[in-house]
Amino acid sequence: MTCVHCCGAENLFNQKQANKDLKKYRKKGPNKTTKKLLAALFNEEINNLSHLDIGGGIGAIQHELLKKGISKTTDIDASTAYIEKAKELMQQNGTTQQMEFIFGDFIDFHQHIDKHDIVTLERVVCCYPHVTDLINNSTSKANKYYALVYPMDGFLSKSVNKLAHLYLKLKKNPFRTYVHSEKMMHELICKNGFENIYYGNVFPWKIAVYKRVN
């Protein structure tokens, strides 16, 4: 992300939105896309594995994986409000020793982040204009599993994305969202040493989980 884009992200994913998402998680648990992503990972042997959550939000994936026995999780997020809420959950759940937080853009910090067994990116690729850089750098951090949630690349999703751009422009927010080619992303992930083990849909989102094969 550019600095301007990051500032826009801070304005969009602000304290009000973070409070709303945390309240919903406490009341109803993970959202539908998160549940499908987690269910696919729960079918694998993940006990004692490490986890990197890129754009982790309030930490729903992190905390649900910790409940299932992963050893530790690292959250990197460009929103201070979301990191604050993830830390709030950490303190309530007593997982201080198992969680690490990094504020910033993954692309800017990836060289300083260790490899983890599981890497997740829920609704993150749609925040990056240069998705190839994001996928190349994030897959390099995944020893075993790579999971992501992204918008379907059909006509309807692209039309909705145009409306989102108009809304952000009217709000004078420089942040933009993107709909990338599913085929391109899949081929790139496979090229980087993974095979797909799960596909799921929650309109307008696609959930994909991959396992490293080399």
Which whole-number Å values give the CA distances from 18 to 21, 23, 114, in the listed order? 5, 9, 27
Residues 151-207 have pLDDT tens digits of 988 666 666 666 665 755 666 656 677 778 999 999 999 999 999 999 999 989 999
Residues 65-106 have pLDDT tens digits of 999 999 999 999 989 999 999 999 999 999 999 999 999 999
Torsion of CA 11, 130, 36, 147, to 10 degrees: -120
Q: Which of 170, 175, 213 is nearest to 195 (CA)?
A: 213
More confident residue, 197 or 9: 197
Q: What is the mean pLDDT of the chain?
A: 88
Residues 17-40 have pLDDT tens digits of 889 999 999 999 999 999 999 999
Count CB atoms within 10 A of the CB of residue 182: 16
In the chain, which ranges are continuous DSSP H helix?
A: 3-12, 15-28, 32-42, 60-67, 80-93, 106-109, 131-139, 155-170, 182-191
pLDDT tops 50 at residue 4: no
Residues 38-62 have pLDDT tens digits of 999 999 999 999 999 999 999 999 9
Query: Domain coordinates of the chain in residue numbers?
Result: 3-212
Q: Which of 131, 153, 145 is nearest to 201 (CA)?
A: 153
Do the bridges between strand 205-212 and strand 194-202 make them parallel or antiparallel, or are there none, so unpaired? antiparallel
Q: What percent of the chain has pLDDT over 70?
A: 83
Q: Which pLDDT does position 5 carry in this prediction?
A: 47
Contact 52, 119 (CB under 8 A): yes
Cα distance from N-terminal residue to C-terminal residue, the chain: 30
SS3 81: helix
User: Which CATH number is 3-212 given?
Assistant: 3.40.50.150
Q: Which pLDDT does position 211 carry in this prediction?
A: 98
DSSP H or E stretch at residue 197: strand 194-202
**Average of pLDDT values for 139-155?**
92
Q: Please give the full DSSP string across 86-107, using - where no structure is assigned.
A: HHHHHHHHT-GGGEEEEES-HH
pLDDT tops 60 at residue 1: no
